[in-house]
Structure 1
Amino acid sequence: MLAVIGVVSLILVIVALATSAILGNVLQENLDAKLQTTTYQQVWQSLARPQFPASVDSTAHSVLDEGRQSPGVMLIVQSPVGVLDGAVVENDGTVAALTDDQVQQAIDGAGGAILATASVDDHGSYRLLPFRAGDYIGIVGLPLTEVNTTIAQILSTVLAVTAGGLIVLALVIALVIRVGLRPLRAVADTATRVASVPMSQGAVSIAERVPDEQADDRTEIGRVGAALNTLLDHVDASLDERQLNEERMRRFVADASHELRTPLASIRGYSELSLRDPTLSETSESALERIQAQSIRMTSLVEDLLLLARLDEGQELVYGSVDLTRLAIEAVDDARPAGLDHNWVIDVGDQPIVIAGDTARLHQVAVNLLANARTHTPPGTTVTVTLEREGTHAALRVHDDGPGVDPDVAPELFERFSRADRSRARKTGGTGLGLSIARAIVEAHHGTLSVQSAPGDTTFTVTLPARPADPSAPVADEPTVDPADAEAAD
């Protein structure tokens, strides 16, 4: 719009200036012709009459006072006896004498040229014509007021018409663009709505499409809309397939974990039974102990996988009243014996912070975070556990001053089977499921688990919805099952 209006404005301005210049030249030529014919002839005829008195003191005034000149005519005459004077016809027909300065301005403006333009004080611009009539010499002039007024009126009219035309042009262009880009706006609106749909996880269905009337492939914009619809169809199908594969994988992990529990329990039981045989050799006893230890490790891994699968399906949680303050204290007390070479600090408020959740699972979160801090930090590290209320949420933080998390590992820290051996010099191995289980449990409680890490400053933060701080607020003592979890379990 700016480009079109700018170009049109430039063209109209050029046309207006050219028209004004041409018309000004035409009007000035007409004025010159009138000056050279009618006005000059009348002045010459008056001065050339034999009976015209040559000794009057004001020759110009006498000529103009005869009443044959139109208003605005200016005359400057030098008589044969050397008298120089000037006069001008006023708009009411009276004749007014010119001052010596005004006469001199006219003479200087004429400058001996055939036709010249000069400005005279109090009378404006004049076209001047020098002449000789017998023994008289002088200058006769006509005002340019009418010419200038006509040009000014033309310019004002052109500017007013131009401004009105530009306004109409802008409205028409805006209407045309709005109508022409309506399909593109529909495409943009559809893309915006699709962009706001969370697609990272869970069942996702993209129902948004560009309307058929805006996806006409006979136009360029319509082809864009049709291409977007095709793309959304492919993405929707891919998301459905991804969700189906995820559900199959969850069922497989859950079924496999469930089925592995029985043979693992049998292996462990038979190994324990065999170890009771007093006739075993030292080699056989060592082998059976290794079998028993690995079966225990395998059982723990299977239990973790089964827990993750059930959490993904919305099962496993049993809701009740959870005192996070007491839970944090107990978790630190349990971690101290296992980490005697670490310094343990607990910082909780006097008032208990109560939430609705699964006590056992939330205790598992705290234990996993403390075990993670103990395992991946060197001896002498200080681990600090803090608990505080932040608005309507409770924040449990586990901080350590160890070496920190490797930036290359940080983006995948909460993924399943993620290992951070390089960054935190862990002494013992693990399954890599501890943090992923902690995050799954926290998210199942509608909370968040995050980490901020730098060398000497690593903090894991668990944020959970808290109960009201008012002690008189009702708190359920009996465990209850979340209706959504019960429905998923069914």
Structure 2
Amino acid sequence: MRNERSLTGRLVALYILVLTLALGLVFMSTMTVMNRVLINQVDSDLKLSGATIAQQTFNALAGTSAQVVPSPYFIYVQNESGADWHYMSPSMEERYGTPADVTVVFDGQPSDPQTIQGTHPNTSWRAIYLPTVSNQFPAVAIAYPLSDIENTKTQMMLVLLVIAVVIVALGAILSYFIVQHSLKPLRIIEHTTRQISHGDLTQRVPTENMGIEVGHLAGSINIMLGQIESAMTARARSENKVRQFVSDASHELRTPLASVRGYAELYRMGGIGPDKMDQAMDRIESEARRMGGLVEDLLQLARLDESRPLNIAPANLTELAESAVFDFQARTSDYPAKVTGLFSDEPEEVIALVDRDKITQVITNLLTNVLQHTPSGTAVDIAVGTEQVRAVTGMVTMAVIEVRDHGPGIPPENRERVFERFYRIDTSRSRASGGSGLGLAIVHSIAQAHHGSANISETPGGGTTVSLNFPILNRNDDRANPHTGGQRIVSPASPKDDDLA
């Protein structure tokens, strides 16, 4: 298993590394500058004080002055006769030692300081030589021990090292608390997402006092959670609708199947005489026909739910309405029906891009509902026209088809549910006369497949009005497409949750 460190540990380690590198750079820069300053100071003393002491020593050697005062300077006098002479205070020599070979400075330029090794271990000296006016003693070398400077540098290094260790330790502690405080919003997000992973989809990440970056992250997570919750809710609702749909379909099919099976068993047991055979066959045929109609309705809804493409083409809605009225009057003459305009008695010509067969089916279903649920003699009007509807993109022209009857109407509390599948206003109504409750559901699904809507309201003066609204598409790309045989194929809109099978 891979060993992974926490984000807090990595950030603290990174901070300590950066702090250590910064302190190390400061440490090296400080020691370099201090060493250069001290060396420059020693060189300056060699040129000033060292020259004075060398002159005094030279005079004492020549017998013109008294003994020089003891100092840490090492004086080396070059003699032309070969008897070079050097001088250093015995106490200082015991303390610092002497330069190992001071004559190497004579190889360089006068007043050009050089660093040479000392006789004591790990000691060094800074030395220069000065020319004189004496022929016997042409030059004097002056050296100064660097032991005090080395001690100062060592002490400074120890002080800086202690300070650096203290700073790094305090920085580590401080950075730990800073990182912990900075990562608190992430821990809140982790806690919230953990609760969500346990099934609580209502949890949301707080966005206040989270900082700019984490606040944006929290907002994005909340949007994602909202979408997930909506999707899960829609999925649960869809599953419930599927279960209810299957239950209702099974219930609807069970009754005619039971009737057919009952007549078959009764015939097998000899319970149906010759005089009742025709009646039993009629009942079996009637139940089979009703089962076939129910299956066809279910298949129609299933195809619409699958979002199968429609055969879209320009169609005259007024002509479709007149054809549907003609067919309706051929079925019955007890219901006077006519086509009118939306706001006048005379219909207007409305051209829209629709599936002709689907729109005809919608109008036919609505007229069939009038035939089943209103008394004989009820007048029916099919109004066709256009109206302007305000949308997000501006005003949109909608094609409208209204099927108005003047019957008993639908109670207001039932209007919102009449488009649900298998829904019946009168639950006591027999299935033979009342239908399966899928007619208006098919109307609603077809309207949505055309990116429109179906609505129900009360007819002025009494009755029920079902309105179908379709957008009129008049863009250039709505013309016939040579690749589709003169038809424009449009994928229908997804049905609402209430219409899911």
Q: Tell me which interval the TM-score lies in, with the shorter structure as reference length.
A: 0.3 to 0.5
Which structure exhibits the higher relative contact order, with contacts defined as CA atoms closer than 8 Å and separated by 6 or more residues? 2
Question: How high is the TM-score relative to the length of structure 2?
Answer: 0.42
Question: How high is the TM-score relative to the length of structure 1?
Answer: 0.43
